[in-house]
Structure 1
Amino acid sequence: TKESGSRGGFDEKINAAKALGINIYVIKRPVEEKGLSVEEAFCKITGKKPEFKDAGINIILAGIGPGAEKTVTKEVKRAIEEADAIFGAPRLLQGINKKSHAVYRAADIIPVIRKEKIKNAVVLFSGDSGFYSGARSFKEAADSEDDIRIKILPGISSFSYMASSLGESYEDTVLTSIHGSDEDKDIQGLIEKIRYHKKVFVLLGSDEDVRKIGTSLVKEDLKCSLFIGIDLSYENERIIELTAKQAADFRDPGVLCLFVINKEVKKRELFCGLNDEDFLRHAGHTIPMTKECIRHESIRRLGLKEGDVVFDIGGGTGSVAIEIAKQDPSLKVFTIEQKKEAVDLIRINRERLGAFNLTVLEGEATEVMKDLKDPDAVFIGGSSGKLDEMISDLSSRGKNIRVVINAILPKTMESVFKIARKYNTADLKCTKIEVTDTLDPLGDRREEKRNPVTIFSFTLGAPTAGKMPVSSDENEDETSKNVSLKPRIMVAAPGSGSGKTIFTCALIRILKDRGRMPAAFKCGPDYIDPMFHEKVLDSESENLDLFFSSENEVRRLVLNASGKCAVIEGVMGIYDGMNVKDEAGSCYKIASCTSSPIVLTVKARGCGRTLISQIMGVLADDKDKLIKAIVLNEMSAGFYEKFKPELDKRLKAEGYNVKVAGFIPVCAEADLKSRHLGLMLPDEIEELNNRIDKMCETVKKNVDIDLIEGIMEDHAEITVKDACVRSADPGDIKDSPGALTLAVARDEAFCFYYKENLRMFEERGVKIRYFSPLSDEDIPKEADGFILGGGYPELHLKTLSGSDKTKKSILSAIENGMPSLAECGGFMYLNESISDKDGKKYPMVGAVKGKCSYTGHLLRFGYLMCKNGDGMQGLKGHEFHYYESDDNGEDISIVKPDGSDERKAMHAGDDHLWGFPHFYYGSKPEFVDEFIEKMRIYHEKGMTKQA
C-alpha cells in the first residue's frame, strides 16, 4: 500500500494486516525517503524482477484564474508542486519556482516533453480552462498521441470573479469573447447579443476593442452601462463604469474584460424573409439576383440549424446570403464572389439590412473555400463552370453537408445530374419553378414571365465516384453493408492454356439449361473472352479488373449484374497479376474481394504424379481458402481412375477441404483455336455453338456439376463498403432535357468495347447509335460525338478501304469539330493507310497523317496510365497490338502502373483523343463527364447539321 496518512486510513490498514497475520509493504514517494519503490515491493512479494510498461506522459491542463496567486485553487497549486515541468505564457509563469517553458501550444510543448523525457507536466491557462481557453485545442491535439493522458483542472473564471465583484448573478449572462486576431472579431454580432440580452460578459483583446464597442453602441443608440475590468485579481485591479460614449474614447493597456448591462432590452423581431425591393441593385441590373420566390424555397431546403456555418457561392447582389444571415445571429455565413463590383454591392446591402454575421469574401470560390472551416450547408447560385471541383472539395471534408444548387441552363442541370451519380446523392430532389409576375395588378395586369429555375437539393457525404444512388435500409450502417449476392464461382487455373474459357462456356451453358440464368464475367482487360460468353448466353458479359476498378466497384459490378448466379472466368495463372511480389490485380484477388469460391482447372496432358505437386503448390498459396474444387483437363478416363484416389489421399493428409470434381478428356471437336489476343473472334469459329455443345456433353458426363452448384450456394453474401450498391432502377435519376447522341462504330472490324464504358454514357442520359464502317454507313446525322473502338480492321482492309461514304462522313465530322475517341483499331482506321502482312497499303480515312504497318511481333502489351492531359490524369487502360503507326502522336504522357517507363503517345486536342491505348472510363469518371460536356457544346453550336 502507499503511505496515505491518517486521512487515508493508513493505521486501519496496518491493524488489518496484523489481524490477518500478513506482511504489509509500504511504498513511499519519492523513492529516496524511507519506504519501498514499486519495483522493490514487487521483488519482495514475488521474488521476480518486474517488467513494467512505460506509464506514459501525464499532462494537466490547469486554469489559474484571472492571474494573481490568490485566485489559484489548491488543487492547481498541488499539481504545480508535483509536476516535473510547467508550461504557459510568460505572464502566467511569474512566481513559478520550478523548471518552466514559456510556450503554451501543443505543437510546441509536446516535442519539448518528449525530448526532455518529462513524465508529469502542467500547462497553465488564464481564467477557467473551460471558458475560451486554449485547453480545448490542446486536448484535441494531444488526443492523437497514444501515450499522453490529459487531465483538466478548472480555475476561477474572470466572468464569475467580476460578477461577484459587481454583486451580479451570472446565470442569465451571455458569455462571449472577441479576444484574438482582428478577422475573428465579430463586433456587430456582439452588438446584436447586447441588443437582445440584459447582461453580456466579453473577454477583450485590447482597449481598441472597448472603443469599437462603445462607438457601435452609440451608433445603435443602445442605453447600456459598461463595466471594464482591468487587471482583475492583481494589486492594481480596477473596475470602472462607463457610458457607451465614454467607452468610445477609452484607453488603458491593462488586461481587460467587459460586463455590459443593457437597460433597454429589445424584443427580437420574427424574420419572415426579405422582398426583392429591399436590395439595392447595380445600374442596369448587370449583377444577377436570386428572386424572392426562388430564394425562399432554396433557403428552406438548406435545413438551417442554430450555429450552422453556411457558404453562399456566387453571391451576386448578396440576396441569398443576407437573407440566410437574417434568419438567426448564431449563423456564420460566408458569401464568395469573384467580381469586385458585386462584392462592393453585397457589402452595401449587408450594412443596409443589418446582416452583421455575414462575411463577404472576394475571389475564386474553389480557392477561397480551402481556407474556410467546414460548412454545414452550401448554396450555389453560380459556379463559373467549376461545380464538380467545388463539390469535390466539399465532399473531401468528411462530413454531411446540405447542398442547394440553382440552375437555369441545361448545361448546369446536366452537371448536377453527373454529380448526383458520382457522389452517391440518394436524397437528391429536383424541382423546376416558373414564376410569372403580374405587373400593374389594378391596371392592365400585364404578365412578365421569368426564366424557369430548377432547384436541386441533396446531402453530400463521402464520394463514391461513378456510382448510382444507394438503396439503403435506414437501420443499417450506410458505410458498410452485408448484401445478399447471387451464388457465384470462379474458374481459374495455374496458367494460360489450361482450358478455362471452354470449361467456363460449357459451365455457363449447363447452368443456363438448368434454369440458373448465369451472368458472366472475365477477369482482366481482355475483350474477346466476354464475347465468347455473350455468344453462349445471348446477354452481356462484364470485365472485372482491379487495376481499372476499386475492390468495391468490382463487388458492385457483380452485385448489379443480371442473372440468378455468376460465373467468373479467371485470367492467366490464378496468382498472376501486376507483379511477381504478390497477387495484386490477379483473378485470385478478385475472387477474394468478391468472396467467390474457385474451381481450379488443371491441364493434365504431359504430366503424371508431378501434377499432384503442382496442385499442392497452388493450394499452399490459397491463404483465403477459396479453392473448393479441382477439374482435371485433358486427362483420360483410365488415368483419372488411378490418379483421383492418390490426389484425394494427399489433399486429406494435408488438411485441404478441396474436392476433385471430375475430369475432361481431350475433345478435338470442342477445340477453340487461338491467335493474337488469346482466342479468335466468336463468329470466326466454325460451328462455335456445336463445339460448345460437344464440350457440354463431355463435362456433364465427367464433372460433378451438382457439387459445383453446391459450392456456389455456400458463398452468397459479401460486404459492400461506402454504400456503393447501385439502385436497381437507373431511372432514379432522370435524364436531363436535350439528350445527346453518341455514334459508336460496331461491326466485325470494330467490336472491342467495355460494357461499362458505354453504360456510363447511357446512365448520363446519352443515347447510343451504332453504325458500321464495313457496311459503308455514314455517322448518324443526329450524332454529337463518335467513338471508333478497337477490333480487327486488318482483317477487313479491302472492305474498309472501299467504304468511301463512311470515311467521308468521319473526316467531315472531325473537320467540323465533332468530339471523337479512337482506340487501337479505330486509331489505325484514322491513319492515311494500313498495310497487310505482305506490305500492300490500303487507303483509310486520313485524319492522321500516318501509315500503319504490321511488325510481325507483339509491339506493346500491358497496363498503362495517363500522367497528364485535360481531364485525363489518372485515366487507366492497356495496350496490345502488333501494328505500328509512324505518327502515334506525342500529346499525352503515358506511364506503367508503377509510374515507370514514361513516354509520349496519342493525338489529343479539345475535341479528340486518338491512339493505340484502350481505356476503361470507370477509372476516371470525370473523363466521360468532360467528353459529354464537349458533345453538348458541339450540339449547342448547331454543328450537327453541318456535319
Structure 2
Amino acid sequence: MKGFVLGGVSSGVGKTVATLAIVRTLADAGYEVQPAKAGPDFIDPSHHEEIAGRPSRTLDLWLEGEDGLRRNYARGEGDICVVEGVMGLYDGDGSSTAMVAEALGLPVVLVVDAEAGMESVAATALGFREYADAIGRDVEVGGIVAQRAHGGRHEQGIRDALPEALEYFGRIPPSPDLEIPDRHLGLEMGEEAALPRDALQDAAETIDAERLAAVATEPPRPETPVEAADAVDATVAVASDAAFCFRYPATIERFRERAELVTFSPIAGDPVPHCDGVYLPGGYPELNAEDLESAGTLSELGDRASEGLPVLGECGGLMAMSQSLTTAEGDRSEMAGILPADVTMHDRYRALDHVELEAIEGTLTARAGESIRGHEFHYSSANVGRDARFAFETVRGDGIDGDRDGLTEYESLGTYVHVHAESGGFDRFLESIER
C-alpha cells in the first residue's frame, strides 16, 4: 500500500482538518484510503475513522520499533495510506513525524499556515525541505497544502512563489466550520465533534487528489512477516464506552486474533462478562465519574478482582481501578477500589512523554527484568497507600510517583502508561490469563 505523511510546520496548524479533507478528496476520486496517525494519539484517529470508515493505524517508533512500525503499516487496507503527523515535522525525540516518514520511506506533504502570507509560505516550506539535509535525515518534503488560504490572488501568489522542487497540492479555505472543539486532553472525539460534511466537502474540492496519489510511495516490507500469533484459550472483556475509549486498533486486533473478545459498558451498568481477564483502556472516567459510581459495574469489578480475576487498567483504567476519583472541581466519586490509591484531577497536565519501564517482578504485561515502552499523558495524580506495591521502575517518564509505575493488587495491574500491541505487553497479558 502506497502512502505519504502529512507533516505540519507546528502544532495547531490544522493537520487534522487537512487530513480529513485529503481523505475525503481521495475517496471522492475513487481511492480506498487507510488513515494513520504518527505518534501515540487516540483522539485524532477517531476523527479519521469517522470520515474514512475504517480504523486509523498508530505509527510510533518508540512504541513499536522500526520493524513493528512497518508491520503495523502493512496491516492496513486500501490503495493509499494518509499518515497524519504529530506536532511539527521535526519535533519530538522519541518518535517525530520526520522519524516515522524516514522509517517508512514515505514522502512528506507539508501543511503550512498561509493565512497571512504568500512568498513566506514558500520560504517556510523550502526551509523544512532543506533542514532534513542539514540534520542528516532522509526525509523528502515534496510539496504543501496551504491551510487557511483564500482562492484567487492569494492562492496564485502562493503557487507562483513555490520553487520547482515543491508541488502545490491545494488549500484548506478559512472557515469557522472547519474547527474541532478541544478539551484538556486535546480535541473532542470524532463521534462527538464530527465536522459538518458539507464544509469538509467544500475543503476537499480545493485539493488535487491525483497529484497527491501520484506522490505516494510504497514503504519497505517488514523483516518479520505479518502473521497471526498463536491462539490462547482465554476470553478477555474490554470496557468500551465514553469513559473507556482510548484504545489502539492494533490492541483490539491482537485480542481478536489470539483470544475471544467481549465488550461491556461500565457507564451503562453492564455486568462484568464471564471472562478470564478484563482490560480497562484509558478515556474520560473523570467526565463520567458520577455515572460510573451509580451504575454499579465498577463495584462488581472490584469484588471480582478481589476473588482473583485479573484486571489490566491503563491511565483512565488505573483511575477507575482506584478507591476514589476527585475532579478538578472537587467532586468525589467512589471507583472500583481494586488499587490502594485515590486519584485527583488537575487543571494542567501532570505527565507527557514517551516512557520506558522495567519490571521489578513478573506482572500482567511483562516478566521480571523485562523492559516495556509506552506513552503517558494525563491530568491526574494518584495518592497511593503506604503499603502499595509497584510492578515497574521508570527508566524514562514520570509514572505514578516519579520513580515507579504499575500499581499491583490481587492479580491486577493499573498503570499510567499506554502500550501498543507491538510492545509485546498485550501478548504477555493474554498468556497470563490463559486458562
Aligned residues of 2:341 and 2:384 also touching (Cα < 8 A): yes
Identify the residue that residue 251 of structure 2 maps to in structure 1. 757
Identify the residue that residue 697 of structure 1 maps to in structure 2. 202
Structure 2: distance between partners of 1:598 and 1:856? 35
Identify the residue that residue 895 of structure 1 maps to in structure 2. 395
Q: C-alpha displacement at 1:841, in angstroms?
A: 1.0
1:676-733 deviation per Cα after TM superposition (whole angstroms, max 9, x unaligned): 2221112222xx25x2441222231x22222112212xx23x43353x2224xx4xx7
Residue number among 149, 162, 166 corresponding to 1:635 in the alignment: 149
Aligned residues of 2:102 and 2:139 also touching (Cα < 8 A): no
Q: Tell me, what secondary structure is at the counterpart of 1:684?
A: coil
Identify the residue that residue 272 of structure 2 maps to in structure 1. 779
Residue number among 741, 756, 763 corresponding to 2:235 in the alignment: 741
Identify the residue that residue 834 of structure 1 maps to in structure 2. 325
Q: C-alpha displacement at 1:645, in angstroms?
A: 4.8
Q: Tell me, what secondary structure is at the counterpart of 1:768?
A: strand
2:435 aligned with 1:934: no
Structure 2: distance between partners of 1:610 and 1:827? 47
Identify the residue that residue 47 of structure 2 maps to in structure 1. 532
Residue number among 508, 511, 516 corresponding to 2:26 in the alignment: 511
Aligned residues of 1:876 and 1:921 also touching (Cα < 8 A): no
1:729-783 deviation per Cα after TM superposition (whole angstroms, max 9, x unaligned): x4xx7746xx31001100011011112223223332x1110000011011112x0
Question: Which ranges of 4 or more aligned residues in structure 1 deviate by more than 6 Å?
Answer: none
Structure 1: distance between partners of 2:57 and 2:371? 22
Is there any run of 5+ residues in structure 2 with no aligned partner, and where? none
2:407 aligned with 1:907: yes
2:6 aligned with 1:498: no
Identify the residue that residue 585 of structure 1 maps to in structure 2. 95
Aligned residues of 2:118 and 2:154 also touching (Cα < 8 A): no
Aligned residues of 2:150 and 2:173 also touching (Cα < 8 A): yes
2:420 aligned with 1:920: yes
2:93 aligned with 1:602: no
Identify the residue that residue 380 of structure 1 maps to in structure 2. none
Q: Tell me, what secondary structure is at the counterpart of 1:842?
A: strand
Aligned residues of 2:35 and 2:82 also touching (Cα < 8 A): yes
Residue number among 878, 881, 898 corresponding to 2:378 in the alignment: 881
Alignment of 1:234-273 (within 5 A): none
Q: Tell me, what secondary structure is at the counterpart of 2:13?
A: coil
Structure 1: distance between partners of 2:353 and 2:80? 31
Identify the residue that residue 302 of structure 2 maps to in structure 1. 811
- Report the identity percentage: 28
Cα separation, partners in 2 of 1:503 and 1:544, compared to 1, 3 Å: same
Alignment of 1:306-455 (within 5 A): none
Cα separation, partners in 2 of 1:735 and 1:915, compared to 1, 3 Å: closer
Structure 2: distance between partners of 1:706 and 1:721? 28
Structure 1: distance between partners of 2:330 and 2:284? 17
Aligned residues of 2:235 and 2:276 also touching (Cα < 8 A): yes
Identify the residue that residue 350 of structure 2 maps to in structure 1. 859
Aligned residues of 1:575 and 1:588 also touching (Cα < 8 A): yes
Identify the residue that residue 644 of structure 1 maps to in structure 2. 158
Aligned residues of 1:629 and 1:708 also touching (Cα < 8 A): no
2:130 aligned with 1:620: yes
1:468-505 deviation per Cα after TM superposition (whole angstroms, max 9, x unaligned): xxxxxxxxxxxxxxxxxx12121111111111111111
Higher alpha-carbon Rg: 1
Identify the residue that residue 678 of structure 1 maps to in structure 2. 186
Q: Give the TM-score normalised by structure 2.
A: 0.90
Cα separation, partners in 2 of 1:646 and 1:930, compared to 1, 3 Å: closer
Q: Tell me, what secondary structure is at the counterpart of 1:488?
A: strand
Aligned residues of 1:861 and 1:880 also touching (Cα < 8 A): yes
Asked which structure has the greater RCO (Cα within 8 Å, sep 6+), the reply is 2
Identify the residue that residue 85 of structure 1 maps to in structure 2. none
Cα separation, partners in 2 of 1:525 and 1:887, compared to 1, 3 Å: same
Identify the residue that residue 664 of structure 1 maps to in structure 2. 172
- Letter of the 1:597 partner, please give it: P
1:809-859 deviation per Cα after TM superposition (whole angstroms, max 9, x unaligned): 201210111111011111111222222232121222222233222221111
Q: Tell me, what secondary structure is at the counterpart of 1:814?
A: helix
Q: Tell me, what secondary structure is at the counterpart of 2:191?
A: helix
- Letter of the 1:933 partner, please give it: E
Structure 1: distance between partners of 2:8 and 2:383? 39
The number of aligned residues is 420
Structure 2: distance between partners of 1:933 and 1:636? 56
Aligned residues of 1:786 and 1:821 also touching (Cα < 8 A): yes
- Letter of the 1:666 partner, please give it: P
Aligned residues of 1:896 and 1:902 also touching (Cα < 8 A): no
Structure 1: distance between partners of 2:139 and 2:270? 53
- Letter of the 1:753 partner, please give it: R
Aligned residues of 1:543 and 1:754 also touching (Cα < 8 A): yes
1:853-904 deviation per Cα after TM superposition (whole angstroms, max 9, x unaligned): 2221111111111122323521111111111121285512112179xx9612
Cα RMSD after superposing both structures: 2.3
Structure 1: distance between partners of 2:210 and 2:306? 59
- The worse-fitting range, judged by mean Cα deviation, of 872-881 and 539-548 is 872-881
Aligned residues of 2:68 and 2:422 also touching (Cα < 8 A): no
Residue number among 270, 278, 284 corresponding to 1:792 in the alignment: 284
Structure 2: distance between partners of 1:897 and 1:845? 26
1:638-688 deviation per Cα after TM superposition (whole angstroms, max 9, x unaligned): 45245225423xx14xxxx22122222211112112222221112222xx2
- Letter of the 1:627 partner, please give it: V
Identify the residue that residue 802 of structure 1 maps to in structure 2. 294
1:16-69 deviation per Cα after TM superposition (whole angstroms, max 9, x unaligned): xxxxxxxxxxxxxxxxxxxxxxxxxxxxxxxxxxxxxxxxxxxxxxxxxxxxxx
Aligned residues of 2:68 and 2:222 also touching (Cα < 8 A): no
Aligned residues of 2:63 and 2:375 also touching (Cα < 8 A): no
Is there any run of 5+ residues in structure 1 with no aligned partner, and where? 1-485, 579-583, 940-947
Structure 1: distance between partners of 2:200 and 2:416? 36
Identify the residue that residue 562 of structure 1 maps to in structure 2. 77
Q: C-alpha displacement at 1:910, in angstroms?
A: 6.8
- Letter of the 1:773 partner, please give it: P
2:335 aligned with 1:844: yes
Aligned residues of 1:745 and 1:771 also touching (Cα < 8 A): yes
Aligned residues of 2:318 and 2:414 also touching (Cα < 8 A): yes
- Letter of the 1:875 partner, please give it: I
